[in-house]
Amino acid sequence: MLASGDPVLDLSYKKFRRLPGVVCGLRHLEKLYVCRNSLRTLPENIVQLKGLRILALDFNKMENVPLAICQLRNLTRLYLGSNRLMSLPPELRNLQSLRCLWMESNYFTRFPRQLYDLPHLRSLQMGDNRLRTLPPDLWRMDALRGLWLYGNRFTEFPRVLLRMVDLEILDLDKNKIEVFPNLSRLPALRLFSYDHNPVEGPPGVGEEVLLVGEGAQEELQDRVDRKAKKEQEARDAEEAALAGDGPPLTPPLLSL
């Protein structure tokens, strides 16, 4: 497998405590999966994999992000979920091509401000961490389209999210938020998940938004029914006008 020349290498579930040294010599690699091992760090010569675009290190034992990762400047996707991370190194800013960063199930108590300097980051997964608040200038991450914050420790809806008008996916499941604002001011939103929060019903959202949570199914059905009713009323009005039974389509001319 190592000698095949395939740009994809999957070494998941191998019980590695160290990444095999030969891997760092595979300079043709574009995707490397080393999930569910026992890695605590990576060798420094992983920087030789200059063409690497995807690196998956989920379910290992990393307490810090290896600095060598921060020199892989062509990375577009980095998966660090289910490790033991509490912070990110300043050098992460070097990953200017990064579009997707998943760090769920770690120990973050503060939002990492280093992420502000990743201009193309579109997908950020920080579910199952220990966040209580978000920085008030989070709106600066204007490239974000998907933000997963489920399973954190929010007791209030982070108001800064209302300024992130380009968000398409927002997940706040499994927090302790009692009141949600009207989210219809987020015009790009297409999926909002609020399940397992102590709220009585779904918040207000745009007509195109898919809701996930308590009472969402009823709200979505009501939306379908309202749409069907409007369409039927429009058809009835059109048929009546064509039959001459309804009001004229244009007002009569006034006599001079």
More reliable by pLDDT, 139 or 250: 139
Q: Is the pLDDT of residue 60 over 60?
A: yes
pLDDT category of residue 235 using cuts at 50, 70 and 90: confident
Q: Which two tokens stand for residue 214?
A: 């308590």
Q: Which two tokens stand for residue 107?
A: 């120990």
Kindly report the average pLDDT of the chain as a whole number: 90
Rounded Cα gap, residues 167 and 39, in angstroms: 34
Domains of the chain plus CATH, in order, are 1-97 (3.80.10.10), 131-242 (3.80.10.10)
> pTM of this prediction?
0.85
Strands laid side by side in the 100-102 sheet: 8-10, 31-33, 54-56, 77-79, 100-102, 123-125, 146-148, 169-171, 191-193, 210-212
Rounded Cα gap, residues 227 and 184, in angstroms: 17
Q: Is the pLDDT of residue 90 over 60?
A: yes
Rounded Cα gap, residues 173 and 249, in angstroms: 49
pLDDT of residue 200: 84
In angstroms and rounded to an integer, the radius of gyration of the C-alpha atoms of the chain is 25
Over residues 117-146, the pLDDT tens digits come to 999 999 999 999 999 999 999 999 999 999
